[in-house]
Structure 1
Amino acid sequence: MDRQGGHKTQQALGTLVAVVGPSGAGKDTLMNLSAQHFADRQDVHFVQRVITRPHDSGGEDHRCVTCDEFDEMRQAGAFAIDWNAHGLSYGIPASVREKLALGHLVVANGSRSVLDRFAGTFSPFVAVNVVASPDILASRLEARGRESREDILRRLARGSLEITGAFDVVTIDNSGSLDDAAARMNQTLSRFLND
């Protein structure tokens, strides 16, 4: 109770969901479909990441900046969280904090290597791990024409698709029908809405 004798109102906190998965699993496709599904909701936000990668490089719609611009933004506190991977810098804009404080759902493209940092930065936090069978991943990656099927299968054999940590993980298998995986993604995200 506060000094006036009333009950303190607990600030509503929204959930940050980081979507992760190996190349070829279809996480960008599922996120795009979910963004369309929730387009009329004012309390669901899909984050545009800031990345030191050319805008026309394919994949997700991101804000492209130079390395110097990224460093300036980092020093100015422009990111809620940022990290480096594969020679690039990635940032989640600090503006997500305002949306979470309103109790909204924020969905971001994450990275499996920094999920512990996400969990330490956001609470509540959930990781959605989009996976597919090695054969499906290999076929999708082979279609991109960057590696041979043999090289792809060798690389896939070295990595695990499982994610563990001190946070909630929902795994969505996108080996089959895209409609089924999209429905599962939408159902998962709907669980974290404050309706």
Structure 2
Amino acid sequence: MTFAPTSAADAAPVGPGRFLLVVGPSGAGKDTVLTGARLRLAGDPTVHFPRRVVTRAVSETEDHDTLAGDAFDAAAESGSFALWWSAHGLKYGIPRAADDSIRAGHTVVCNVSRAIIADARVRYARVEAVLITAPAEILAARLAGRARESDGRLEDRIKRNDVYANFQADHIIQNAGPPEDAIQALLDIIRA
């Protein structure tokens, strides 16, 4: 993530609301869990689930907005993103409106790369990392059933999941059973 403060207000940690940053290996079901929690909290004006902006076309397995590479770069340069990062040949961004929600004391929940957690902890007053994961055999089966050309080779996706073995999360959700169990676990964290 690259963030350059544009004012003294930007230099202070953004708060007082919470930023729940959801991370996890490919195939863990992060989007399923986030979608379920978002639907259950649709009437709560204090919880926000911003749509990520990605330099990949929208698919059935991932709900996001799309920008071409040059347009994404221009948006990042103009300060349109609260957080942005590059991973696996793609660029991802969380719209700047997330900062307004956090300043209003609300909770913002979104799917990010674990690589930006340390920077986010500097930028925001209250960051909690939520790791959604599952056993390796479940991850592999889910990835095999989800063939996105832009994801690359299945073997490479599975190997990339090893980086989560030592990741220090504030909360861990095992998504190995019915999706409702993991959704409820995320709801409990959001409401805490």
**Bin for the TM-score computed over the shorter chain:** 0.7 to 0.9
Q: Identify the match of residue 114 of structure 2 among 112, 115, 118.
A: 112
SS of equivalent to 1:40:
coil
Correspondence for 1:172: 173
Query: Could you say if the C-alpha distance between residues 153 and 14 of structure 1 is closer, same or farther in structure 2, counting changes exceeding 3 Å?
Result: closer
Is there any run of 5+ residues in structure 2 with no aligned partner, and where? 1-13
In the alignment, structure 1 residue 155 sits paired with structure 2 residue 159: yes
Q: TM-score, length-normalised on structure 1?
A: 0.81
Contact 2:15 2:125 in 1 (8 A): no
Distance in 2 between the 1:45 and 1:24 partners?
A: 24
- Residue 180 (structure 1) shift: 1.5
- Residue 182 (structure 1) shift: 1.4
Correspondence for 2:127: 125
- Residue 158 (structure 1) shift: 4.3
Contact 1:172 1:184 in 2 (8 A): yes
Distance in 2 between the 1:90 and 1:140 partners?
A: 22
Residue 85 of structure 1 aligns with an amino acid whose one-letter code is A
Query: Could you say if the C-alpha distance between residues 117 and 190 of structure 1 is closer, same or farther in structure 2, counting changes exceeding 3 Å?
Result: same
In the alignment, structure 1 residue 183 sits paired with structure 2 residue 184: yes
Contact 2:53 2:64 in 1 (8 A): yes
Q: TM-score, length-normalised on structure 2?
A: 0.82
Contact 1:47 1:109 in 2 (8 A): no
Correspondence for 1:74: 76
Residue 96 of structure 1 aligns with an amino acid whose one-letter code is A
In the alignment, structure 1 residue 40 sits paired with structure 2 residue 66: no
- Residue 140 (structure 1) shift: 1.2
Query: Could you say if the C-alpha distance between residues 75 and 189 of structure 1 is closer, same or farther in structure 2, counting changes exceeding 3 Å?
Result: same
More helix as a share of residues: 2
- Residue 91 (structure 1) shift: 1.1
Distance in 2 between the 1:117 and 1:52 partners?
A: 22
Correspondence for 1:84: 86
Contact 2:140 2:158 in 1 (8 A): no
Correspondence for 1:138: 140
Structure 1 runs (4+) greater than 3 angstroms displaced: 145-149, 151-154, 156-162
SS of equivalent to 1:116:
helix
RMSD: 2.4
SS of equivalent to 2:170:
strand
SS of equivalent to 1:140:
helix
Measured against aligned partners, the alpha-carbon deviations of 1:29-67 in whole angstroms (never above 9, x if no partner) come to 000000011011011100111111112x34322111111
Following superposition of structure 1 onto structure 2, how do residues 16-31 of structure 1 map, counting pairs within 5 Å?
16-31=19-34
% of aligned pairs identical? 35
Correspondence for 1:3: none
- Residue 189 (structure 1) shift: 0.8
Residue 159 of structure 2 aligns with an amino acid whose one-letter code is R
